[in-house]
Structure 1
Amino acid sequence: MHNRSSSFRAPSLVVQIIIGLLAGIALALAWPQGAHAAGLLGTVFVSALKAVAPVLVLVLVTASIANHQQGQKTHIRTILLLYVAGTVAAALVGVLASYLFPSTLLLKAPTDAGLSAPGGIGEVLRTLLMQVVDNPVNALAHANYIGLLAWAIGLGLALRHAGAGTRAVVGDLSAAITWIVRMVIRLAPLGVFGIVASLLAESGLGALANYLHVLCVLVGAMLFMAFVGNPLIVALTTRRNPYPLVLRCLRESGITAFFTRSSAANIPVNLELCRKLGLHEETYSVAIPLGATINMAGAAITISVLTLAAVNTLGIAVDLPTALLLSVVAAIGACGASGVPGGSLLLIPLACGLFGISNDVAMQVVAVGFIVGVVQDSAETALNSSTDVVFVAAAEQARGRG
């Protein structure tokens, strides 16, 4: 009876997501009108993730710090170094890919006056600083994770001096929010079904034909970073075979992130994956929300590749020092990209400014980015979000916890 019952167990969440993906494709091809209606399932799922993520970050980080035991190491410094190394390496990969496979664009798209891009690195850094000192209610309402982290750390440090009963209540609240998050994550197969069905029914992939080359360069660079760059960084850090960890993170985090197209919305998924990996909660409860904001390898690739595509289109010569400077700017700019769909695209004019490209032309490049974003932004988010867990786990393995 035991063998028979185990053979009828429900498939894993990843298998259910793949089933939802295939069902969404079938519905979009067979019944486009029904696919539009099914899009509501995807909208509800992503909205639910975005709704619980800010509360989860605030409560979980506060509880972790408040109940932190003296002498426990959180490895945050190592994780931050890995985040920086990964983002800079990704920017270099994007520059190298653009040199090996140069792309050009059809810069005829009208500019959109509704879009606004930062005027320089100083403005990006100022924005990050203002996010740190944001009102906590406003930070919750607008999913400002930098502000939420600042308040959570402050509250956690203050509550460490509270009584044991108060700290226990905070811990119980964290467990309750985590339970709600797990229930939301169980809806992922239905969410992916609705997202895929509505996306194919509305946009299809025909719009990508004119930009297939630059799209292949973008996705190719991201795949290289996911399967070569990140494993190399992990191997150097842990002295272990990196692929079991990397492939699991891509499977259990990257797939969901690919369809939600939001690093912020994927925070609950990553926190759950860290729990299943047996990682230190006091580490990942802080590092995962932070990574969703500053660990932006995919965004660095997007900024580098599309900027150099504009440079090639305009016939501007680029020397090696300027290309290296672009990598640094792309890495810094990527850290300022919001964890929402298309967040990296408005940083492109910042990089274009290095080459004297006008804002009007740069915003046309942004418009191209939104066209290829049907695939590019999904791949970018999958790389960004899965890498968060990869580096957190690698940091703990390097310290002998894995």
Structure 2
Amino acid sequence: MSTQPSLLVQLVTRTHLVTQILVGMVLGIILALVAPEAARATGFVGTLFISGLKAVAPVLVFILVMSAIANHKQGQPTQIKSILLLYLVGTFLAALVAVAASFLFPTKLALVQPAVEASAPGGIWEVLKSLLVSVFANPVRAILDGNFIGILAWAAGLGVALRSGAESTRLLIADLAHGVTAIVRLVIRLAPIGVFGLVASTVAEAGLDVLLGYARLLAVLVGAMLFMALVVNPAIVFFMTRRNPYPLVFTCLRESGLTAFFTRSSAANIPVNLQLCERLRLHEDTYSVAIPLGATINMGGAAITIGVMTLAAAHTLGIQVDLPTAFLLCVVSALSAAGASGVAGGSLLLIPLATSLFGIPAEVAMQVVAIGFVISIVQDSVETALNSSTDVLFTAAACIAAERRG
């Protein structure tokens, strides 16, 4: 009897975390089908897991970025410029994919849902202004609110300032970074239990019947996101690295996209992505900044959602969309996506911004948003998986390309 706990511990430690997550997912589905009431109760476990990730992410990003910059050695290269360019290009290409998919497979909506009471941005300037205001947020408030733009700005500023500080101060910050990272590892080890609770409660509450009425819309959305993940992104990585991109693509999808699918939050998945970058042996000074930055502005999945839902509304109302307007929609979708919050459903409230290009009334636009919330159980999960896994993918591609050139 005394050996049983040790055997269990050995089994857990020797089994890959992704395998454990898959087991938790399967067990969650079984529980939802066999005992729906018990499955609903497990939702609390999933909520705790997401709360844990969201709690550690702002502190982790603040300490890690500050430590990386403060302890950065002169002449040590980083690839932030290349990664930022990849983020921008990838998001714009995702918007192009969304427009192409919507023209190839036009979809109409049944606009019968009541309008959603929510506040949507009134224009691109409002989105950009909001991002700019976030930069100058109070640092304590930025950490409390999970404002990663503000966190990055303050961490970078303090990191630069402390580069001329005492060696003991920089070592203290580095030790803090290691300590927070250890806590993050503990939280991530609980992912199988968290996913079990999330899957069980979601399947028990929503089921799949609610999605059947929007099967075509979901097919276009998910199809466009899969095309982006399995065709466009690998092409970008191949262009950067000149090697077979698919081993890296599948690693990122499996180890980052899987957890992001269930957490449905790019911000909550930051600790997972940082751990994956560490396992991929990427440059810490690069990924410690690139990953939280990607969780804020690298939103290819959001661009696809905005584009597809907007054109679905246009097709429903019989609005003819010419090529120049479609291109303008790509630009608006890409810029709007960069302003999408890193939480579940963050891209949906940006749909009215894009529909305004076609003169679609706000009341109709918010009905489209309502449909988005109905299908978000699948749409937002796949969107976040694409967004978050691409953060690691592009960061790794830039680092590999730099090694190849060097």
CA distance in 1, matches of 2:381, 2:320: 31
CA distance in 2, matches of 1:160, 1:11: 41
User: Partner amino acid for 1:287?
Assistant: A
Following TM superposition, by how much is the alpha carbon of 1:358 offset from its aligned partner in structure 2, in angstroms?
0.8
Tell me the equivalent position of 2:26. Answer: 22
CA distance in 2, matches of 1:338, 1:205: 27
Structure 2 residue corresponding to 1:253, chosen from 256, 261, 269: 256
In terms of mean alpha carbon deviation, does 34-43 or 8-17 score higher? 8-17
TM normalised by structure 2 equals 0.96
CA distance in 1, matches of 2:319, 2:333: 18
CA distance in 1, matches of 2:362, 2:286: 41
2:119 is the alignment partner of 1:93: no
TM-superposition CA deviations, 1:44-80 (whole Å, max 9, x none)? 1000000000000000000000000000111100000
Give matches, 1:187-266, under 5 Å.
187-266=190-269
User: Partner amino acid for 2:30?
Assistant: A
2:168 is the alignment partner of 1:165: yes
CA distance in 2, matches of 1:112, 1:183: 39
Tell me the equivalent position of 1:339. Answer: 342
User: Partner amino acid for 2:54?
Assistant: K
Tell me the equivalent position of 2:42. Answer: 38
CA change 1:161–1:401 in 2 (3 A) is: farther
Following TM superposition, by how much is the alpha carbon of 1:112 offset from its aligned partner in structure 2, in angstroms?
2.2
CA distance in 2, matches of 1:100, 1:10: 47
What is the root-mean-square deviation in Å for CA atoms of aligned residues?
Answer: 1.3
Following TM superposition, by how much is the alpha carbon of 1:209 offset from its aligned partner in structure 2, in angstroms?
1.0
Tell me the equivalent position of 2:133. Answer: 130
Verify the 8 A CA contact 2:297 2:339 in the aligned structure 1: yes
Structure 2, unaligned runs of 5 or more: 1-6
Structure 2 residue corresponding to 1:325, chosen from 303, 308, 328: 328
CA distance in 2, matches of 1:181, 1:135: 24
CA distance in 2, matches of 1:110, 1:40: 29
CA distance in 1, matches of 2:116, 2:15: 46
Verify the 8 A CA contact 2:241 2:404 in the aligned structure 1: no
User: Partner amino acid for 1:246?
Assistant: V
In terms of mean alpha carbon deviation, does 304-313 or 233-242 score higher? 233-242
Structure 2 residue corresponding to 1:296, chosen from 295, 299, 302: 299
Structure 2 residue corresponding to 1:369, chosen from 367, 372, 375: 372
Structure 2 residue corresponding to 1:56, chosen from 56, 60, 63: 60
User: Partner amino acid for 2:262?
Assistant: F
2:116 is the alignment partner of 1:112: yes
CA distance in 2, matches of 1:356, 1:37: 45
Tell me the equivalent position of 1:287. Answer: 290
Following TM superposition, by how much is the alpha carbon of 1:34 offset from its aligned partner in structure 2, in angstroms?
0.6
CA change 1:269–1:119 in 2 (3 A) is: same
Following TM superposition, by how much is the alpha carbon of 1:401 offset from its aligned partner in structure 2, in angstroms?
6.4
Structure 1, unaligned runs of 5 or more: none
Structure 2 residue corresponding to 1:384, chosen from 376, 387, 397: 387
User: Partner amino acid for 2:340?
Assistant: A
CA distance in 2, matches of 1:109, 1:143: 32
> What is the identity percentage for the equivalent residue pairs of Structure 1 and Structure 2?
64
CA distance in 2, matches of 1:344, 1:220: 18
Following TM superposition, by how much is the alpha carbon of 1:10 offset from its aligned partner in structure 2, in angstroms?
2.9
Tell me the equivalent position of 2:313. Answer: 310
TM normalised by structure 1 equals 0.97
Following TM superposition, by how much is the alpha carbon of 1:11 offset from its aligned partner in structure 2, in angstroms?
1.4
Following TM superposition, by how much is the alpha carbon of 1:165 offset from its aligned partner in structure 2, in angstroms?
0.4
Q: Secondary structure at the match of 2:106?
A: coil
Q: Secondary structure at the match of 2:375?
A: helix
